[in-house]
């Protein structure tokens, strides 16, 4: 968390906010561990200053800002991080939002990195657990690095034929396979549970044992659930917020994730929770038989 829908929502918002053409005027930081490349903050600061934002896009769970002078900024929000766009001012040693009440949400108060832009706005990273990472790359090197990730499931090129090729001889439980970023990009714990419920497939079923019809249902569920997540601008039952500080709306569409003990909306059986690879997994024992 955030997963593909949340990251795409962030990118969509930043593009609508007309960041393209703005330059990085300066950067503030209070947690050195966020900057992974280059490791030296002063070098990072020097390299990013005055760089113009040329493009903002998503690859898997990464937000990429293509900049002038063949540089690209990569931000991975990890578990509790999210980007915010607005204005803040320092008051009694703390950053206070200016002109936007939504930024006062408690989940928006963990600011550890702020980019000052030359359009008089700021781009801030709020991250409760400080797991997010920020990297500055040469653009072509980053693109080669990102090619190691799996295909984008919402791209037109992600066809049923391609999905079948990906799953062919792919060993492991299907939930683990869906969450493997080198297999398919962008799916995490929340949407994997939702996708498998939609397709009526048990999360522990071996990928190699999926029948032809199940693969087709799974493919359709991947497309539909992720598209719905983007349409409703992500899931905000926990830390994630949109760049304007407000919540996403996917919570109303969530069928199984964090609904343990509640009725399945399809068959009225009780939703169960198990652990797969250390992650909580939610499913209907009747609709999703092993």
Whether the per-residue pLDDT at 179 is higher than 80: the answer is yes
According to DSSP, the residues that pair with 23 across neighbouring strands are: 52
- In this structure, the answer to whether residues 207 and 168 fall within a common structural domain is yes
Q: Give the domain CATH number at 224.
A: 1.10.8.50
- In this structure, the answer to whether residues 98 and 185 fall within a common structural domain is no
- Among candidate residues 51, 61, 242, 259, the one labeled active-site is 61
- Among candidate residues 2, 5, 97, 243, the one labeled active-site is 2
Whether the per-residue pLDDT at 1 is higher than 80: the answer is no
**Domain stop point among 146, 174, 197:** 146
- Among candidate residues 3, 6, 135, 233, the one labeled active-site is 3
Please state, rounded to an integer, the average pLDDT across all residues of the chain. Answer: 97
Nearest CA-CA partner of 238 in 104, 127, 85, 76: 127
Question: Which residues lie closer than 8 Å to 16 by C-beta, 6 or more apart?
Answer: none
- In this structure, the answer to whether residues 263 and 171 fall within a common structural domain is yes
- In this structure, the answer to whether residues 126 and 173 fall within a common structural domain is no
Q: For 110-152, how does the pLDDT look when each residue is reduced to its tens digit (9 = 90+)?
A: 999 999 999 999 999 999 999 999 999 999 999 999 999 999 9
Check if 279 is active-site. yes
- Among candidate residues 143, 255, 279, 285, the one labeled active-site is 279
Using the Cα atoms of residue 266, residue 269, residue 270 and residue 271 in order, give the sign of their dihedral. negative
SS3 216: helix
Whether the per-residue pLDDT at 18 is higher than 90: the answer is no
Q: Give the domain CATH number at 9.
A: 3.20.190.10
Nearest CA-CA partner of 83 in 143, 29, 11: 11
For the chain, the domain total comes to 2
Check if 2 is active-site. yes
- Where b means 16+ CB within 10 Å and e means fewer, 206-232 reads ebeebeeeebebbbebbbebbeebbeb
At residue 139, what are phi and psi to the nearest 5 degrees?
-55, -50
Q: For 216-264, how does the pLDDT look when each residue is reduced to its tens digit (9 = 90+)?
A: 999 999 999 999 999 999 999 999 999 999 999 999 999 999 999 999 9
Residue 64: inside a domain? yes
pTM (2 d.p.): 0.96
Check if 216 is active-site. no
- In this structure, the answer to whether residues 97 and 34 fall within a common structural domain is yes
Residue 153: inside a domain? no
Cα–Cα separations (whole angstroms), residue 38 to 135, 136, 257, 290: 7, 7, 37, 47
Strands 133-138 and 35-37 come out as parallel
Domain that holds residue 23: 4-146
- In this structure, the answer to whether residues 173 and 198 fall within a common structural domain is yes
By residue count, the chain amounts to 290
Q: For 20-73, how does the pLDDT look when each residue is reduced to its tens digit (9 = 90+)?
A: 999 999 999 999 999 999 999 999 999 999 999 999 999 999 999 999 999 999
């Amino acid at each position: 968390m955030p997963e593909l829908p949340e990251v795409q929502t962030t990118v969509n918002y930043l593009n609508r906010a007309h960041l393209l053409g703005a330059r990085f005027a300066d950067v503030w930081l209070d947690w050195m561990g966020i900057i992974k490349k280059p490791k030296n903050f002063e070098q990072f600061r020097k390299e990013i200053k005055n760089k113009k934002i040329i493009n903002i896009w998503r690859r898997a769970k990464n937000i990429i800002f293509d900049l002038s002078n063949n540089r690209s900024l990569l931000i991975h929000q990890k578990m509790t991080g999210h980007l915010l766009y607005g204005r803040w001012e320092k008051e009694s040693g703390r950053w206070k939002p200016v002109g936007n009440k939504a930024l006062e949400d408690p989940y928006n108060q963990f600011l550890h990195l702020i980019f000052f832009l030359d359009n008089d706005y700021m781009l801030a990273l709020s991250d409760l657990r400080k797991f997010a990472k920020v990297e500055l790359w040469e653009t072509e090197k980053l693109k080669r690095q990102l090619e190691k990730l799996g295909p984008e499931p919402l791209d037109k090129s992600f066809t049923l034929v391609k999905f079948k090729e990906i799953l062919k001889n792919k060993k492991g439980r299907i939930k683990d396979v869906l969450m493997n970023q080198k297999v398919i990009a962008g799916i995490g714990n929340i949407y994997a549970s939702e996708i498998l419920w939609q397709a009526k497939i048990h999360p522990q079923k071996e990928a190699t044992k999926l029948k032809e019809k199940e693969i087709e249902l799974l493919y359709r569920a991947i497309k539909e659930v992720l598209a719905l997540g983007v349409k409703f601008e992500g899931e905000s039952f926990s830390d994630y917020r949109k760049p304007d500080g407000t919540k996403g709306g996917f919570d109303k569409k969530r069928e199984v994730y964090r609904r343990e003990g509640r009725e399945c909306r399809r068959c009225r059986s009780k939703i169960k929770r198990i652990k797969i690879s250390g992650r909580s997994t939610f499913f209907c024992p009747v609709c999703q038989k092993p």
